[in-house]
């Protein structure tokens, strides 16, 4: 058995301010730093062979903090294909203010529908279309070799991964919630998933 772990970055400064972040390179908040460290505590029992992150600092800093806490050193593989969804014209805007301006339903469609793009941005389907080839070419071969792999990325990148792994479908991905800084572990038989679960460090450490 080997492991694929999906880790959403810890809370960012713009998560805290309830803003659409997308490609903007915003760093972790103090809470996000602690979440990343806690994730590393949770992952001490898995020795990773490879760590993939996006090119955005909130993702690779989460990976760095987590691996340091887990007592592991890695040269991360960073790639733009693992970046967050591009929110286009919504980037940097407050979500609640956008609900007042455009209505709850419209903002929900932009955030949670599968194939509707926000103005000048990406839909989740667009994210799947860029993540899937990267996963197939670079990550799946390692899993087939029985390697343990960590992907530290973003909410929508990892929701795309749930579709690629056939854990969710375009019809039910709306219900998938991936909290910040909590590892989602897939037990694998090579590249075939067996079961998955979130793990969180116990309160007593």
Q: What is the set of domains in the chain, with CATH numbers?
A: 2-198 (3.40.50.1240)
Mark whether 11 is an active-site residue: no
Confidence category of residue 81, pLDDT binned at 50, 70, 90: very high
Secondary structure element (H or E) that encloses residue 32, with its range: helix 30-42
**Cα distances (Å, whole numbers) of residue 174 to 37, 45, 102, 155, 171:** 28, 31, 20, 12, 7
Average pLDDT over the chain, rounded to whole?
Answer: 94
Of residues 60 and 192, the one with the higher pLDDT is 60
Alpha carbon distance 70, 50 (integer Å)? 14
Q: Which of 5-14, 56-65, 144-153, 171-180 has the lowest mean pLDDT?
A: 171-180
Q: Give the pLDDT of residue 27.
A: 97
pLDDT tens, residue by residue, 41-77: 999 999 999 999 999 999 999 999 999 999 999 999 9
Q: Give the pLDDT of residue 5.
A: 98
Residue 178: CB partners within 8 Å, gap ≥ 6?
6, 8, 155, 158, 159, 184
Ramachandran category for residue 169: left, alpha or beta (phi over 0 → left; psi -120 to 50 → alpha): beta
Of residues 204 and 107, the one with the higher pLDDT is 107
For the segment 86-97, the average pLDDT, to the nearest whole number, is 96
Q: Give the pLDDT of residue 201.
A: 60
For the segment 28-50, the average pLDDT, to the nearest whole number, is 97
Mark whether 84 is an active-site residue: yes
9, 35, 140, 154: the catalytic one is 9
Confidence category of residue 193, pLDDT binned at 50, 70, 90: confident
With a cut of 50, say whether residue 202 has pLDDT above it. no
In percent, the amount of the chain with pLDDT more than 90 equals 90
For the segment 149-173, the average pLDDT, to the nearest whole number, is 96
11, 35, 84, 122: the catalytic one is 84
Of residues 9 and 113, the one with the higher pLDDT is 9
Q: Give the pLDDT of residue 203.
A: 40
């Amino acid at each position: 058995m080997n492991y694929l772990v999906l880790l959403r970055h810890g809370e960012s400064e713009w998560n805290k301010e309830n803003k659409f972040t997308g490609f903007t390179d915003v760093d972790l908040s103090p809470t996000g730093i602690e979440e990343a460290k806690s994730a590393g505590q949770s992952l001490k029992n898995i020795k990773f062979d490879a760590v993939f992150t996006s090119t955005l600092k909130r993702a690779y800093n989460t990976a760095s903090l987590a691996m340091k806490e887990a007592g592991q050193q890695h040269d991360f593989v960073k790639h733009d294909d693992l970046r967050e969804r591009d929110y286009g014209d919504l980037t940097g805007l407050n979500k609640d203010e956008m609900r007042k301006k455009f209505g709850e339903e419209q903002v929900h469609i932009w955030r949670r529908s599968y194939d509707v793009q926000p103005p000048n941005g990406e839909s989740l389907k667009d994210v799947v279309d860029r993540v899937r080839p990267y996963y197939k070419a670079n990550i799946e071969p390692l899993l087939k070799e029985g390697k343990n792999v960590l992907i530290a990325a973003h909410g929508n990148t990892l929701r795309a991964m749930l579709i690629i792994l056939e854990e969710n479908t375009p019809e039910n991905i709306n219900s998938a919630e991936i909290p910040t800084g909590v590892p989602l572990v897939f037990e694998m038989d090579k590249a075939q998933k067996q079961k998955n679960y979130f793990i969180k460090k116990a309160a007593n450490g």
